[in-house]
Structure 1
């Protein structure tokens, strides 16, 4: 019996083990490139704007415009992880926290488009489509409600900015800043940073900074996509096992499994794309899917926290602060909306109502997607210009 379980040289088991090790090495390399890319964006913005980096974002001084930037960018790229990593780099380069916070909130709304599009795969079967569409749009509804409640509170009382600033100050100590020459991440990333800077050194002045920003964004787009592909290959089987054993055991277990799977695959879009078809076929109910999707909101914040470790020196605190804002926003949204019974049911009612209308008339699907991701952003922009 023991001979059967031993991986012999040249055996299929040994080949699979080697393949997995190579895949994990690739993931490690891609994470390294991601960190270097985030650092490149911050360096690029500093090089392009110099001491006037904040003025570079004067056009987005209105929180409403910043919110729309987050929504549209994430809807187009289909990855909140990518957008939040870019925002971390921008903050390190001078983007004000007050403008970055609405962008982070917008990214939460934009990423929910993926699950809505996935639900369209069930459109030919009325009952399945109703279940899938409600499971998808409960994500949209929750994130929109969270922004509607927490953005005004943030503008008035700044709870996220204050709490994240305090936590970042604790995590990035004065000692670590004063010993920046011994910063492990700075030493680790310096070879990649030098290569990236050398690649644009031939460009004059501001243009070298602009090129560095574009290279950083391009690398993030590529790396997040590739990490998702590799981790899906490594973890989807395990992820499905977690789904079946944990999602139906209650809200806490559902949130935990949603968080864990999203951390593993580094994409809330992937996580929600896994659960929506299962909801459509009746494996899970909307009540079971709801907390799982909220867990995916928490899990996706790990990328921004990881990206913040690429920043060293004086910008380290603000970079970590905006990453913590992403985490605190999602935790606070759950605490306010899901914990309070009268608010908890609002996203469910919204999703079920939309699903019923979409089942009756597919035109509602087009109207919903166009309204939430195109018309609503335009309305917000119009209103924001009045203030």
Structure 2
């Protein structure tokens, strides 16, 4: 018996090591996949990338693409990684910016759906639905503030361009000279690219894009499952320790937990049952959701470090995503006049949904599907 008990911990440790090695390989696969999308898009579009996206050249259409794609795929990390790959292949950055904003809104649907699991208990559902939708209202308010500013001044595009230029610069002393990640992924990307090239530029390019998207789905899904096994217990401990210690602690821990589990949807969904049970108040949970927005940007920044094609533009859109989420926290949470708007809206909606369950369903359909359709209607008139 003693010998068996001594062996068990070693076996458990061995399994953990293997799981971490698998996570590293999947992250490598993710970076390769983003490189494939960039290469495939460049191959298929040739020099006509801008013309291909002329139909969606206004911000409202880009916003809709981001919202609906993320609501359907249920992963902003997946959508933003795909956007990074497309930008590397020639998708204009100015079109990609509203797509990234839309991805932030679309990812909020996950925790809102999770809150429906509390629908049978009125007070519990009110607390859970409010905790879920505070993330929605924050992201919607961010879009209302920053999309008009972006359309008028290109604030995020310029900031992201400046940050990416710090890494690439204008001379030879740039990230290109020491980008070992790109060098490490080149054999896989080039091998797949060579295999599809025989199909011709357009068909081969489209095939390469589809392979890249499929690999991103596989990599992010499997990484998410593995990290949940490895880290969710620790993530809950961090959350319990940090919530209630103040807003800065909440934001920082929300960022850390999301980096650990690589999913803002997982982070925010972890909080919904805690809010429903009454363990934490909405105002305590609110800063934690803001940190989740920041933490989810890590995937896109990582993916942008090794793309082929227009690598500086890819890093630019990844930085834009990060800056957008940080500025959202600074402006909305930093200004007292804006800080409580998401909380008050979520509390009001939670109370309404508790009295009328159809209001919750109407809200989900309205925000994630009807509103995007209206945006498309507006965009067609521009």
**TM-score for the superposition, normalised by structure 2:** 0.96
Q: Which residue of structure 2 aligns with residue 350 of structure 1?
A: 345
Residue of structure 2 equivalent to 1:361? 356
Query: Is contact 2:167-2:175 (8 Å) kept?
Result: no
Q: Is the 8 A contact 2:197 2:205 kept in 1?
A: no
Moved more, 164-173 or 37-46: 164-173
- Tell me, in whole angstroms, the C-alpha distance in 1 between the residues paired with 2:43 and 2:212: 13
| Unmatched 5+ stretches in structure 2 | none
Taking structure 1 as the reference length, what is the TM-score of the superposition?
Answer: 0.95
The offset of 1:11, in angstroms, is: 1.3
For residues 379 and 82 of structure 2, the distance between their equivalents in structure 1, rounded to whole angstroms, comes to 24
Q: CA deviation at 1:204?
A: 2.5
The alpha carbon displacement at 1:264 in A equals: 0.4
Q: Deviations over 1:364-387 (max 9, x none)?
A: 011101110111111111122222
Give me the whole-angstrom Cα distance separating, in 2, the residues matched to 1:360 and 1:182: 59
Distance in 1, Cα, partners of 2:10 & 2:246: 39
Alignment of 1:256-295 (within 5 A): 256-295=252-291
Matches within 5 A, 1:1-387: 11-175=7-171, 180=176, 183-312=179-308, 315-387=310-382
CA-CA distance at 1:200 after TM superposition: 1.8
Contact 1:46 1:94 in 2 (8 A): yes
Q: Is 1:176–1:183's contact at 8 Å kept on the other side of the alignment?
A: no
Gap runs ≥5 in structure 1: none
CA distance in 2, matches of 1:296, 1:208: 37
Q: Size of the alignment, in residue pairs?
A: 381
Give secondary structure in 2 for the equivalent of 1:51.
coil
CA contact (8 A) 1:172 1:316 kept: no
Q: CA deviation at 1:201?
A: 3.2
- The DSSP-based 3-state class of the residue aligned with 1:310 is coil
Task: State the distance in 2 between where 1:60 and 1:267 align.
Answer: 28
Distance 1:256 1:12 in 2: 36
Distance (whole Å) between structure 1 residues aligned to residue 190 and residue 5 of structure 2: 42
| Moved beyond 4 Å, runs of 4+ | 7-10, 175-182
